[in-house]
Amino acid sequence: MLHSIVQALLPVAFVVLLGWGSAALKVLKREQAGILAILVVDFALPCSLFAGVMKLSVADLTNVPYFLAMFVGLMGIYLIGLMLGVFVFRNTLGESALQGGVSAFPSMAYSGLPVLTAIVGSEGILAVLIGNLITSIFMVPTTLVLLELSAAKGKTTAKGSTAKGSMVELILANLLSAVKQPVVWLPVAGLILALCGVKLPDVLNSSFGLIGQTAAGVALFALGLMLYGQKFTLDAQIATNVFLKNVGQVILMLLLVLALGIKNNAGKELILTGAIPSATAVSMFAVKYGIYTARASASTLISTVLSVVTISLTIAFVTRWP
């Protein structure tokens, strides 16, 4: 168990520390994290998600109870975080979308894969692929639409425009803007191809994989770069985000597994998914849009640190799972 935890979290800490050290040694400036965020969000992450979706079989995509549990477990926590941001913490719509994301988006491929494969074997990759499929088809587009809508609404308010029907036009325009982004349409294209049983030639798999593999390292490095010079903060929002991600999602996944009668390794995979720390992708969105950056970064960092405890407890629980 200890080996699995160290294998999952030590590389993450190492790369974050490298990013922090590059700023401390003045090799890079903290402001340059924005450039790395563009690389991750617009290039590396879309290719990584596309390559992952293309590995799914039609049987994987039609396992309704498993897919439903993963969907509700991820999007349910996202909705809770979003609603808390809007109605409790009075954040803007864009900030609330990022709060939902940082509370619900697990670092499946980076922290999750080593843990899942260590506990359930090669079957664990299914949870990574299905989880990434749901985040790329549902969570990421929703977040981008709300971010675009919030940004455009702010500009409209600043101009004092109150034209009738402007809100509908605003939503449609920003929905189209979000759909145009590679991180949205590329995984959707991969889903359609996977459902049609299409397999990419090895040379294309290698091509997408080559740039896709950089997403994890660059995102973690950029996170470390952003954290340099940032005072350690822990307020009600950050604490809420971390609790939802590291504890709330585990509980929700457990309830879904019991309710849907999912057993054996499939149930273990879903429960373990809830314990995986928050993904750096949300922090990259925060940097790109210039909002909620400090809280998103702090939430991701604390979630990763505390996951040493939550993953350990969850592993101890699922190893006794029937």
Model's pTM, two decimal places? 0.79
- Do 73 and 130 contact (CB within 8 A), yes or no? no
Torsion (CA) 219, 55, 308, 250 in degrees, nearest 10: 110
Q: Per residue in 102-120, is it b (16+ CB within 10 Å) or e — as a string?
A: bbbbbbbbbbbbbbbbbbb
Does residue 23 lie within any of the structural domains? no
Residue 46's pLDDT is what? 87
The range of the structural domain enclosing residue 314 comes to: 31-156+165-318
Does residue 6 lie within any of the structural domains? no
Average pLDDT over residues 173-182: 74
pLDDT digits (tens, 9 = 90+) for 59-82: 777 789 999 999 999 999 999 999
Does residue 96 lie within any of the structural domains? yes
Q: Residue 90: pLDDT above 80?
A: yes
Does residue 20 lie within any of the structural domains? no
Does residue 22 lie within any of the structural domains? no
In this predicted model, which residue has the larger pLDDT, 190 or 172? 190
Does residue 44 lie within any of the structural domains? yes
Closest CA to 28 of 317, 227, 235: 227
When mean pLDDT is compared across 166-180, 185-199, 270-284, 293-307, the lowest value belongs to: 166-180
For the chain, how many structural domains are there in total?
1
pLDDT digits (tens, 9 = 90+) for 281-306: 898 889 888 999 999 989 998 998 89
Residue 261's pLDDT is what? 94
Q: Residue 257: pLDDT above 80?
A: yes
Does residue 24 lie within any of the structural domains? no
In CATH, what number is assigned to the domain containing residue 59?
A: 1.20.1530.20
Q: Residue 232: pLDDT above 80?
A: no
Does residue 63 lie within any of the structural domains? yes
